[in-house]
Chain A
Amino acid sequence: MADLTTTFAGVRSPNPFWLASAPPSNSGSQVHRAFEAGWGGAVWKTIGPPVLNVSNRYGAWHYGGQRMLAINNVELISDRPLEVNLREITEVKRAWPDRAVIASVMVESKPEAWHEIVRRVEDTGADGMELNYGCPHGMSERGMGAAVGQDPGYCQEITSWVTAVAKIPVIVKLTPNITNIVVPARAAIAGGASALSLINTINSIAAVDLNTFELTPSIGGKGGHGGYAGPAVKPVALNMLAALGADSVVGKSGLPISGMGGITTWQDAAEFLLLGASSVQVCTAVMHYGFRIVEDLCDGLSNWMDEKGLATIGDVIGKSLPRVSDFKDFDLSYRAVARIDEAKCIKCNLCYVACNDTAHQCIDLIDSSGAAVVPYGYDVRSNGKDEAVSKRPQPRVREDDCVGCRLCYNVCPVEKCIAMVDAPSGRESVTWDELMQSNPELGEDWEAMKAYREKHGIHVH
């Protein structure tokens, strides 16, 4: 059994799975039940100044019959009184000494306000605090949340107010609603943060109602942008996480990062760990399925680690970071082609139409005599399953023409039916960066490029 124990900025938890600051961690009784289910930690729903919430505050993106591939919300920070939250945090921490209990906070941008909240949070016995610089709606209109996260100056200043007085670890939670995530991360580090977390939700409009022409959800006839989270945002979050790992300043700071954004399964979580997160947080998946999902998050992760010979969470963290690179450093001579496993293929022809209409026209439909045939070529008088199945041609890749773009691989509905197989180009390995140093004209002159391709046998059709 792999050891899932996690230490994050000095805070220990029995596993790396924390509830993100959000509805699942809204109250003491909820967090209590989450801990009973096995969650390693909880970042309390953000506490701070008084607010009033609205109805219809959660929208969602459904696709192809799948519900809630993403949630979209205009919920504010906790609408329960500060006193109540602080008292419940105290009670929960006392009852669960081995779990990570983190208070998420957001107050007015004044040093006194921040000093006051730090003192009161520390009185609860919480293990740490997370500064919410990410809420993209409502709070930002009041100069808090994303209004801070989007301004590196503010971000650094407020962080330093907090770190000047805080005795417990301070995690700065970043907003993804920014062009370069590295900038606010560096600001937080300059402000003395002990750790980072990302991502908060992404600005979004969920949908428009085709009957009423209102936005969906409609809040008394109006709607607006809200924060986007859930499975659909995972690739965005992974990219931001990797960008921090690859940054020299953030990397050198050694600050731990708590990763989140779309984590639903242990596989998702493992990917965050591999790209440098040292704990992970979950919101939408819990809102969809409840606290019980933590069982498989732990079980699946542990079994996978055993299989891979990874004994501790520390062995997993950042293992894939060295693979993060840029286009300019990719090997241009690397070549792969698509190959169809005809025994697995169900002949849906989705690869064929994708390649033929939108890629490189290098999949043929081959009949039993080995000849390439045109689609819809059957006689209108023919019918019946026997004829339709037995006469159905087999899609086959013309590997010499295949540029290895991987589109067919992505559309194929059958597991492991199309493989991208290495097909050594025979060319010496070279990157774009190297090429620009040796042959700068290739980046400017199509004639030169043509000559280069001819010389190296690169055919693009």
Chain B
Amino acid sequence: MDSKGLQETHPPLTAHEALVEANRCLYCFDAPCMHACPTHIDIPRFIKKIATENLRGSARTILEANLLGATCARVCPVQELCEGACVLGAEHKPIAIGRLQRHAMDSVNDRGRSMIPVAGPSGRQVAVVGAGPAGLSCAGELAKRGHAVTVFEKRDLAGGLSTYGIIGLREPVETSLGEVRMIEGLGVRVETNQALGRDFVLADLQGRFDAVFLSVGLGTTPEMTIPGEEFVLDGLAYIEDSKLNPGGMKIGRHVAVIGAGNTAIDCATVAVRLGAERVTMIYRRTAEEMTAYLHEYEFIKNEGVEFRFLTQPVRVLAPGGHVTGLDCVRMELGEADASGRRAPRMVPGSEFTIETDQVVKAVGQEKPWAALGLARAKGFISVNEEFETSLRGVFAGGDCIRARGTASTVMAVQDGKLAAAAIHQRITEGAN
């Protein structure tokens, strides 16, 4: 396999390509693409501004609805969102909304800040915990309204999964950090290396701030509890290395990736693109039950990655600490479980070994928020319609509350935006 690297797959549109594509848009009224976009960007409006070469106005239209428009333009699963709803999808090709959005956002680059009006100081203070898309969106929206916002972030760099988790093929680290700078430009303070539960507790914030927004995302990859698991790499760390430390990364010759969700696909992509000779994805159900999107599945198959469906790893073989293989059993699908998916069960006596020198697991993320003492549902933090948790004045949004449906960056952005509106309402109640 040749290693094509992890540069952004889609080259930016040239000015001419953008013009032609923008002119193809019908300028629908109350457009379905706009409804389908979780942040409801006025898509026909920003596209027509590209057509009239008013790129500044176009970027501003995007930013008004979505402060993280540059990231979203790159990472959104547009087939499921805006482009999936485009009226030209049925018979022609849908408009390349994501790429046009990127064209508009890239044209203003770091000047994005200058087109967002910021209200005078309100005298109110809000703490945001976690500098991922949800936190940054909420912080920026509150700053626009004149509130003093401090974001506490556990890691060295802000940006959340946009910085650490989304492979460079879709979004380079620089884009994410550029957006962080833009949010800081609105007056937001970002304090990194500050972890809730380690460096401070919730009560500290409640004392110092008028409101708190929790946007702490999810945790690390859970244990599979199989022998030899200590030799298995964590998929999230694997991706993180590929973004921030690609030189120091060791890629196996034959990489086995356990899981078949979005993260697993990304891990396989990293392995393939950075030089693995063979990559096998191991999933205990079938292609039908995969949580990865169809376009991701097609993409990774095209990359030459193999699939072992109905396969469950049971043991990692690592004599002397060197991984040599993964023992698996074959599975079959039984009756549908509560979630409607058919539960897999082992086929007795079907054990076999997959030869591999590197095993990566991508089997979801932990929900480590029990210690906060907030009401939860299925491990996620529970919020009401206004994004308020069981603790008055403490709001939450993003992946940490996404108990239903697929989590995505743009949804986290919308949570942050809606929560900011609710927080603003709350902290200005009674004030003139």
Contacts from A to B (Cβ < 8 Å): 64-65, 346-350, 352-353, 365, 375-376, 378, 380-385, 387-389, 391-392, 413
Contacts and interface: CB of A to CB of B under 8 A. Distances in A.
Contact of B20 (A65, A375, A378, A381): A65
A392 B23 CA distance: 24
Contact of A387 (B24, B29, B36): B36
Nearest to B37: A383
Highest count of chain B CB atoms <10 Å: which of A349, A365, A375, A383: A383
B29 A413 contact: no
Nearest to B84: A385
A384 B81 CA distance: 5
B87 interface: yes
B51 interface: yes
Nearest to A65: B23
Given A381-B418, A388-B36, A413 B26 contact: yes
Interface string B1-34: 0000000000000000001100110111111110
A352 B23 contact: no
A350 B27 contact: yes
B280 to A, nearest CB: 32
Contacts of B30: 349, 352, 365, 375-376
Highest count of chain B CB atoms <10 Å: which of A352, A378, A385, A389: A385
Interface string B56-87: 00000000000000000000000111101101
**Contact residue range for chain B?**
20 to 34
B89 to A, nearest CB: 8
Contact of B32 (A350, A353, A388): A388
A376 to B, nearest CB: 5
A417 to B, nearest CB: 12
13 contacts: A64-B51, A348-B26, A349-B29, A350-B28, A375-B30, A376-B30, A378-B35, A382-B35, A383-B81, A384-B81, A385-B36, A385-B79, A391-B35
A414 B36 CA distance: 22
Given A65-B20, A378-B35, A383-B414, A388 B27 contact: no
Given A383-B35, A383-B411, A348 B80 contact: no
A65 B87 contact: no
A391 B352 CA distance: 49
B189 interface: no
B26 A350 contact: yes
A347 B87 contact: yes
A348 B35 contact: no
B40 interface: yes
Interface in B82-116: 82, 84-85, 87-88, 90-91
B135 interface: no
A65 to B, nearest CB: 4
Contacts of A352: 29-30
Contact of A389 (B32, B88, B418): B32
B202 to A, nearest CB: 26
B29 A353 contact: yes
A200 B80 CA distance: 53
B38 A383 contact: yes
Contacts of A349: 28-31
Highest count of chain B CB atoms <10 Å: which of A348, A365, A413: A348
A380 B417 CA distance: 11
Nearest to A373: B30
B19 A65 contact: yes
B103 to A, nearest CB: 15
Nearest to B53: A210
Nearest to B36: A388
A349 B32 CA distance: 10
B234 to A, nearest CB: 30
Nearest to B21: A65
Contacts of B418: 380-381
Interface string B177-212: 000000000000000000000000000000000000
B85 A388 contact: yes
Contact of A375 (B29, B36, B51): B29
A381 B33 CA distance: 14
B27 to A, nearest CB: 7
Interface string B39-56: 010000000000100000
Contact of A388 (B33, B51, B79): B33
Contacts of A389: 32, 36, 84-85
A392 B29 contact: no
A388 B23 contact: no
Nearest to A345: B87
Contacts of A378: 35
B413 to A, nearest CB: 11
Contacts of B84: 384-385, 389
B35 A387 contact: yes
A196 to B, nearest CB: 39
A351 to B, nearest CB: 9
A385 B40 CA distance: 12
Given A65-B20, A65-B23, A385-B85, A346 B90 contact: yes
Nearest to A395: B29
Contacts of B91: 346
B36 A348 contact: no
A347 B32 contact: yes
A350 B29 CA distance: 6
Contacts of B33: 388
Contact of B40 (A350, A353, A380): A380
A384 B80 contact: yes
A346 B91 CA distance: 10
B20 A392 contact: no
B124 to A, nearest CB: 24
A347 B26 CA distance: 11
Closest 10 CB pairs of A and B: A385-B84, A65-B23, A388-B36, A375-B30, A353-B29, A349-B29, A383-B38, A388-B35, A388-B85, A346-B87
B302 to A, nearest CB: 23
Contacts of B28: 348-350
A64 B23 contact: yes
Highest count of chain B CB atoms <10 Å: which of A349, A352, A353, A388: A388
Nearest to A393: B30
Given A65-B23, A348-B29, A385 B81 contact: yes
B36 to A, nearest CB: 4
A344 to B, nearest CB: 10
Nearest to B385: A381
Nearest to B78: A385
A347 B28 CA distance: 8
A392 B32 contact: yes
Nearest to B19: A65
Contacts of B24: 65
